[in-house]
A and B are shown apart, each in its own frame.
Chain A
Amino acid sequence: MKFGEIETNLLKTIANLDGVPKGAVNIRIDGSPALRHSSPNIQIIPKQDKPGFDLTVAPGTKGETVHVPVILTKSGLKDLVYNTFIIGEHAEVTIIAGCGIHNSSHMNSQHDGIHEFILHPYSKLKYVEKHYGEGSGEGKRILNPTTTVQVAEGALIEMEMVQIAGVDDAVRTTTVHIQEKGYVKMVERLLTHGDQHAESHVEMYIEGQGGTGQVLSRSVAKENSTQVFKAALIGRAECTGHVECDAIIMDQSKIKAIPQLVAEDTNAVLTHEAAIGKIAGEQLIKLMSLGLTEQQAIDTIIEGFLR
Chain B
Amino acid sequence: MLRLENLTMVVGDNHGENREIIRGINAEFVAGKVYGITGPNGGGKTSLAKLIMGIYMPSQGHIYLQDQDITALSISERAQLGIAYAFQQPPRFKGLTVKDLINIARPGIDNLHLRSTLRDVGLCPEDYLDRDVGPGLSGGEMKRIEIAQTLAREAVVSIMDEPEAGVDLWTIQKLIAVIVGRYKRKPDLVTIIITHNENMLHICDEVLVLEDGMVVHRGTPEEIWPHIKDEIECKMKEMCSGEMAYEIR
Q: Report A's interface with B, CB cutoff 8 A.
A: 218, 246, 280, 282-283, 285-294, 300-301, 303-307
Count A-B pairs with CB separation below 8 Å.
54
Contact indicator B93/A289 (Cβ below 8 Å) = no
Contact indicator B95/A283 (Cβ below 8 Å) = no
Which residues of chain A have C-beta atoms less than 8 A from B85's C-beta? 289
Which residues of chain B have C-beta atoms less than 8 A from A300's C-beta? 96, 100, 104
In the assembly, what is the distance between CA of A288 and CA of B87, in Å?
Answer: 12
In the assembly, what is the distance between CA of A11 and CA of B101, in Å?
Answer: 32
Given contacts A282-B91, A301-B93, A304-B94, 19 further A-B contacts (CB under 8 A): A280-B91, A283-B91, A286-B90, A286-B91, A288-B75, A288-B76, A289-B55, A289-B75, A289-B79, A289-B84, A290-B101, A291-B79, A291-B80, A291-B104, A292-B104, A300-B100, A300-B104, A304-B95, A306-B95
21 CB-based A-B contacts, threshold 8 Å: A218-B94, A285-B75, A286-B90, A287-B104, A288-B74, A288-B76, A289-B55, A289-B75, A289-B84, A289-B85, A289-B87, A290-B101, A291-B79, A291-B80, A291-B104, A292-B76, A300-B104, A301-B96, A304-B94, A305-B94, A307-B95
Which residues of chain A have C-beta atoms less than 8 A from B147's C-beta? none
In the assembly, what is the distance between CA of A288 and CA of B104, in Å?
Answer: 10
Interface residue range, chain B: 20 to 34
A306 to chain B minimum Cβ distance, whole angstroms, is 7
Interface residue B105 (Cβ < 8 Å from any Cβ of A): yes
Contact indicator A290/B149 (Cβ below 8 Å) = yes
In the assembly, what is the distance between CA of A38 and CA of B104, in Å?
Answer: 45
In the assembly, what is the distance between CA of A292 and CA of B85, in Å?
Answer: 14
In the assembly, what is the distance between CA of A280 and CA of B93, in Å?
Answer: 10
B48 to chain A minimum Cβ distance, whole angstroms, is 15
Which residues of chain B have C-beta atoms less than 8 A from A304's C-beta? 93-96, 100
Q: Can you list, as one digit per residue, whether each of B97-123 has a CB less than 8 Å from chain A (1) or not (0)?
A: 000110011000000000000000000
B151 to chain A minimum Cβ distance, whole angstroms, is 13
Which residues of chain B have C-beta atoms less than 8 A from A288's C-beta? 74-76, 79
The one of B55, B80, B95, B101 in contact with A285, judged by C-beta atoms closer than 8 angstroms, is B55
Interface residue B153 (Cβ < 8 Å from any Cβ of A): yes
Closest to B103 in A: A290
Which residues of chain A have C-beta atoms less than 8 A from B55's C-beta? 285, 289
In the assembly, what is the distance between CA of A294 and CA of B84, in Å?
Answer: 17
Sort A-B residue pairs by CB-CB distance and give the 6 closest, nearest first: A304-B95, A304-B96, A291-B79, A288-B75, A282-B91, A305-B95
Which residues of chain A have C-beta atoms less than 8 A from B93's C-beta? 283, 301, 304
Interface residue B53 (Cβ < 8 Å from any Cβ of A): yes
Which residues of chain B have C-beta atoms less than 8 A from A286's C-beta? 87, 90-91
Which residues of chain A have C-beta atoms less than 8 A from B95's C-beta? 218, 303-307
Contact indicator A290/B153 (Cβ below 8 Å) = yes
In the assembly, what is the distance between CA of A292 and CA of B95, in Å?
Answer: 17
Closest to A305 in B: B95
In the assembly, what is the distance between CA of A225 and CA of B120, in Å?
Answer: 45
Which residues of chain A have C-beta atoms less than 8 A from B74's C-beta? 288
Contact indicator A293/B76 (Cβ below 8 Å) = yes
Closest to A296 in B: B76
Closest to A301 in B: B93
Which residues of chain B have C-beta atoms less than 8 A from A303's C-beta? 95
A301 to chain B minimum Cβ distance, whole angstroms, is 7
Which residues of chain A have C-beta atoms less than 8 A from B80's C-beta? 291
Contact indicator B94/A246 (Cβ below 8 Å) = yes
In the assembly, what is the distance between CA of A154 and CA of B100, in Å?
Answer: 37
Closest to B90 in A: A286
Contact indicator A290/B96 (Cβ below 8 Å) = no
A190 to chain B minimum Cβ distance, whole angstroms, is 14
Closest to A283 in B: B91
Contact indicator B105/A290 (Cβ below 8 Å) = yes
Interface residues of B in 13-63 (CB under 8 A from A): 53, 55
In the assembly, what is the distance between CA of A307 and CA of B133, in Å?
Answer: 14
Contact indicator B94/A290 (Cβ below 8 Å) = no
Which residues of chain A have C-beta atoms less than 8 A from B87's C-beta? 286, 289
